């Protein structure tokens, strides 16, 4: 166990989606990601290969990166002002905020601003021992793969 998990997180601690957690989970990431799409969007995807990859150009930075069909649909969904809001559960709201942010680590304070939720409540929920939907504290050790 890494020392980052022995340190009590604060509202300034950054969080991210740990996709390795999903690999070890009994839950299916693609099935969960589908729940973030509207019923209409799910139907529009139909029988398409959700893992087909496309080049995506970030509208502000011009950076080109690859997104699969499902993540591209989520990127489109995120344009809806209600995608992250009070009508969405706390964990889903935080997960969506991290998705929209390209999984760049965000603090509980930043997540609170994005989701409209209390930063302390976010911290108590995702900063504890239990890992919800792969959301966990980030440290620079994650970048180096340690």
Residue 6 pLDDT more than 70?
no
Residue predicted with more confidence, 72 or 91: 91
Angle, in degrees to the nearest 10, between helices 69-77 and 90-100: 110
Instruction: Give Cα separations from 142 to 1, 5, 17, 41 (angstroms).
Output: 13, 12, 11, 33
CB 99 within 8 A of CB 72: no
Global confidence as pTM: 0.82
- What pLDDT does residue 140 have? 59
Give the residue-averaged pLDDT of 54-60.
82
- Rounded to a whole number of angstroms, the CA Rg of the chain reads 16
């Amino acid at each position: 166990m890494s020392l980052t998990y022995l340190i009590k997180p604060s509202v300034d601690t950054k969080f991210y989606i740990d996709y390795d957690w999903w690999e070890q989970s009994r839950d299916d990431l693609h099935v969960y990601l589908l729940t973030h799409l509207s019923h209409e969007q799910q139907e529009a995807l139909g029988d398409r290969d959700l893992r087909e990859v496309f080049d995506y150009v970030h509208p502000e930075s011009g950076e080109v990166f690859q997104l699969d069909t499902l993540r591209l649909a989520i990127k489109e969904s995120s344009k809806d002002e209600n995608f992250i809001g009070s009508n969405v559960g706390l964990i889903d709201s935080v997960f969506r905020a991290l998705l929209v942010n390209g999984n760049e680590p965000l603090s509980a304070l930043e997540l609170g601003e994005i989701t409209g939720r209390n930063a302390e409540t976010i911290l108590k929920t995702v900063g504890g021992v239990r890992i919800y939907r792969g959301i966990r504290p980030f440290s620079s050790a994650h970048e180096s793969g340690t």
